[in-house]
Amino acid sequence: MSADEMEPRPMSPRPAKVTVRFDQQQRKLLDFLRAEKKFGTQDGEIIRNVVLDYIKQQQKQGK
Amino acid sequence: MKTPKPGKRRLELTLQPVSGKALPVYRGEILRITQLEAGQCVDFNCFNLDDHKEYMSVGHMRREAFHPGAGHFIWSNPPRYRPMMRILTMPPTCVADTLAARCSAVIFESHFGIDDHPNCQDTLAEAIGEYGLTPDDVHDSLNLWMNTEIDHIGYYTVWNSGKAGDFVDLMAIMNVLAVPATCGSGDIWVTSSFCYKPIKVEIFEATAQTKAMAEKEWKANASLKSQRVPKDFLNPTIRTDPELRPDPNYKPRFVNFPIEWKDIEVVFTNEEFMKIWNYRGTLGDTDEEVVRTLFFHWYLDNRKKHGVRLYTPQQAHA
C-alpha cells in the first residue's frame, strides 16, 4: 500500500476496537496462554496484553 | 521464451484453506494457480501420471535456482530426471521456494505443542489418496508464494508478498498428476501472513502451439541416455501398479477442514492504539493484520520451541 493510499494517522481519540479473526488452531495458542494465567482470561484480553508486551519488547531493544 | 496463449478452460475450482486436489494435466495443457485474496502460500507436488515412481525433485530444481521462476522446469527425480512441467508465468510477487521442504504435523507438535495442526504433508497425502497413493508418496513441495530469504545461517521466511489476482502458469511437458494444496502452516507462521485464504485452480486444454512447444521441450530435454526409466533398471519390477486411477468413492479427510473462524474483539486505549498504528504498512495494511501479526511475532519470539523435541502441550507451555 502506498503512503497516499493509507488512512491518516488518528490524532484524536477514536474507537480503538479491532476485530481479529482467529481459527481454531490459533485459538489453541490462546488457550495455552490462558492456562499460564499471565495474560488474562478472555481471548481479546490475551491478544491485547501479548501485543502490548511485544511492542514493549521491541522498544526495549530499540526497534 | 514466448509465452503461449492457453487453450479452452476445462476445469475451474476453488481450493479452500487446508485442502488440496490431485489433478491430471496432460502434455501441452496449462495449470493455472491464482491468488483469490492475497498472500496464500501454495504447496505443489507433481507425479508422472503413467508412472508414479517418477515425481518432482525439488532438490534438483534447486540446482538451477533457489527461487525458480518463468522459464524454469519442474524436474523429476533421478534416475529419470526429466522435465515434467515448464513454468510459463510467475509474477515478481510470487517467490517460489525450494528450501523449506514441506510442513508436517511433527513441526507443529514440536514447535507449538499442537499435535493435530493442518500441514502440507497430511493435506497432500489426503489429496493423492484419491489415486491410491500413500503418505509415503508425498515429496518435498515447490512452495509457491513463499518468501524465503537466505542469510548466513540458512534461510528464513518473511511476510508473503502475493497479491490478489497473481497467477502462476505451469505447462505439462509429460502427462502429470499435479497436486496443489493451500499451505497448512500459514495461520500460525508468517508463510501466509498468519491467515489462511482460498486459491483458484484452472486447467486449460492444449493448443497446437502448446503441444508443439511441449513436444520440442521433451525432445530437447528428455533424450539423454542417463535419464533411465524402469526398462533400464537392474531390477525393473515396481511393486505396485504404476498407472494411477482415481477411486470414485474416495473421500479425503483433510485435517481440521473446514476451518472454523471466530471474530475476537480487542480493545485498546487510544494511546496504545497509536503505538499499533506505527506498524501499519510494515506488519500489515489493516488494523486486524497488524494486531494479528504482532501477536504471532510475540508468540514465535517467546513461546515457539526450537528443534524436534517430544513433549506434551503442558510441558511445552510450562
Phi first, then psi: give them for residue B220, nearest 5 degrees: -75, -25
Phi first, then psi: give them for residue A30, nearest 5 degrees: -65, -40
* Predicted pLDDT at B238: 67
**Is the Cβ–Cβ distance between B93 and B114 less than 8 Å?**
no
CB spacing of B188 vs A26 below 8 angstroms: yes
Give yes or no for A38 touching B (CB within 8 A).
no
Per-residue pLDDT reduced to its tens digit, B140-174:
999 999 999 887 767 788 889 999 999 999 999 99
Name the minimum distance, in Å, from the CA of A10 to any CA of chain B: 7
B270 contacts on A by Cβ (under 8 Å):
10, 13-14, 16
Q: How far is CA B285 from CA B70, B92, B203, B290, in A?
A: 29, 20, 32, 7
Whether the pLDDT of residue B314 is over 50: the answer is no
B179 three-class SS:
strand
Interface predicted TM-score (ipTM): 0.85
B292 contacts on A by Cβ (under 8 Å):
20-22
A50 contacts on B by Cβ (under 8 Å):
294-295, 298-299
Cα angle at B26 between B205 and B79, to 5 degrees? 150
Task: With cut-offs at 50, 70 and 90, classify the pLDDT of residue B306.
Answer: low
Give yes or no for B299 touching A (CB within 8 A).
yes
**CA gap A27, B99 in Å, rounded:** 29
**CA gap B169, B88 in Å, rounded:** 5
Whether the pLDDT of residue B308 is over 60: the answer is no
What's the pTM value of the predicted model, to 2 decimals? 0.84
A41 contacts on B by Cβ (under 8 Å):
none
Per-residue pLDDT reduced to its tens digit, B16-67:
999 999 999 999 999 999 999 999 999 999 999 999 999 999 999 998 888 9
**Is the Cβ–Cβ distance between B211 and B171 less than 8 Å?**
no
**Is the Cβ–Cβ distance between B104 and B152 less than 8 Å?**
no
Instruction: Kindly write down the DSSP assignment for every residue of B39-101, as one continuous string.
Output: ---EEEEEEETTEEEEEB-HHHHHTT-SS--TT-EEEBPTTT--EEEEEEE--TT-PPBSSS-
Task: With cut-offs at 50, 70 and 90, classify the pLDDT of residue B105.
Answer: very high
Whether the pLDDT of residue A2 is over 90: the answer is no
A17 contacts on B by Cβ (under 8 Å):
265-268
Give yes or no for A56 touching B (CB within 8 A).
no
Q: Which of A1, A18, A32 sits opposite B281 (nearest CB)?
A: A1
Mean pLDDT of A21-38: 96
Question: Please, what is the average pLDDT of chain B?
Answer: 91
Whether the pLDDT of residue B311 is over 50: the answer is no
Per-residue pLDDT reduced to its tens digit, B288-301:
999 999 999 999 88
* Predicted pLDDT at A4: 53
* Predicted pLDDT at B318: 40
* Predicted pLDDT at B307: 40
